[in-house]
Amino acid sequence: MKQKEIKIPEATIKRLSTYINCLERLDAEGFQVVSSELLGESCQVSPAQIRKDLSYFGEFGVRGVGYGTKNLAEQIKKILGLDKIWPTVLVGVGHLGHALLNFTFFREHGYRMVAAFDNDPGKIGREVTTDVIIHPIEKLVEITREERAAIGIITVPASSAQETADRLVEGGVKGILNFAPNKVKVPENVTIRNVSIVSELDNLAYLLSKKHGRRRLTRKKTISRPPKL
Amino acid sequence: MKQKEIKIPEATIKRLSTYINCLERLDAEGFQVVSSELLGESCQVSPAQIRKDLSYFGEFGVRGVGYGTKNLAEQIKKILGLDKIWPTVLVGVGHLGHALLNFTFFREHGYRMVAAFDNDPGKIGREVTTDVIIHPIEKLVEITREERAAIGIITVPASSAQETADRLVEGGVKGILNFAPNKVKVPENVTIRNVSIVSELDNLAYLLSKKHGRRRLTRKKTISRPPKL
DNA sequence: TGGTGTGAACAACTTCACAGCG
DNA sequence: CGCTGTGAAGTTGTTCACACCA
pLDDT at residue B43 in the model: 95
pLDDT at A220 over 60: no
Residues B115 and B66 in one domain: no
Same domain, B93 and B183: yes
**This model's pTM is above 0.85:** yes
Q: Which of B103, B109, B206, B210 to mutate to probe the A interface, most A CBs <10 Å?
A: B206
Claim to verify: residue A36 and residue A135 sit in the same structural domain:
no
Considering the domain architecture, whether residues B188 and B94 belong to the same structural domain is answered as yes
- Read off the pLDDT of each residue in B51-61 and give the average, rounded to a whole number: 97
Residues B106 and B186 in one domain: yes
Is the same domain home to B70 and B98?
no
Residue B92 lies in a domain: yes
User: If pLDDT is split at 50, 70 and 90, which confidence band does B127 have?
Assistant: confident
Query: Could B218 and A2 be called an inter-chain contact, meaning their C-beta atoms sit closer than 8 Å?
Result: yes
Residue A30 sits in the same domain as residue A133? no
Q: Can you tell me the distance from the alpha carbon of A116 to that of A88, in angstroms, rounded to the nearest whole number?
A: 9
pLDDT score for A215: 40
A109 is a domain residue: yes
pLDDT of amino acid A148: 97
pLDDT score for A2: 43
CA distance B144 to B118: 14
The torsion angle over the Cα atoms of residues B99, B183, A208 and B67, rounded to 10 degrees, is 70
Which residue does chain A place closest to B5, by CA atoms? A218
The total of structural domains in chain A comes to: 2
Strand D contact with A223 (CB < 7 A): no
Q: Are residues B94 and B72 in the same domain?
A: no
User: A49 near B213, Cβ under 8 Å?
Assistant: no
Q: What is the C-alpha end-to-end distance of chain B, expressed in Å?
A: 58
Residue A227 forms part of a structural domain: no
Give the confidence band of B211 by pLDDT, cuts at 50, 70, 90.
confident
Residues B105 and B67 in one domain: no
Cβ within 8 Å, pair A1-B223? yes
Domain with B66 in it: 10-80
B134, β-bridge pairs: B116
Average pLDDT over residues A11-17: 96
| pLDDT per position as a tens digit, A150-174 | 999 999 999 999 999 999 999 999 9
CA A216 → C1' C9, Å? Answer: 32
- Averaged confidence pLDDT in chain A: 89
Residue ending a domain, among B61, B80, B99, is: B80
Query: Is A149 found in the same domain as A44?
Result: no
Residue A151 lies in a domain: yes
Query: Does the residue A191 lie in any domain?
Result: yes
Q: Please list, in sequence order, all residues whose beta carbon lies within 8 angstroms of the beta carbon of residue A160, skipping any fewer than 6 positions away.
A: none
Residue A208: inside a domain, yes or no?
Answer: no
Structure confidence by residue, pLDDT tens digits, B93-120? 999 999 999 888 787 889 999 999 999 9
Secondary structure (3-state) at A145: helix
Same domain, B68 and B140: no
B139 and B46 housed in the same domain: no
In a domain, B213, yes or no: no
Q: Which residues of B touch A87 (CB under 8 A)?
A: none
pLDDT tens profile A19-45: 999 999 999 999 999 999 999 999 999
Residue A218 C-alpha, separation from nearest chain B C-alpha, in angstroms: 6
Residue A99 CB-density burial (10 A; 0-12 exposed, 13-18 middle, 19+ buried): buried
- Indicate which CATH number applies to the domain containing B42: 1.10.10.10
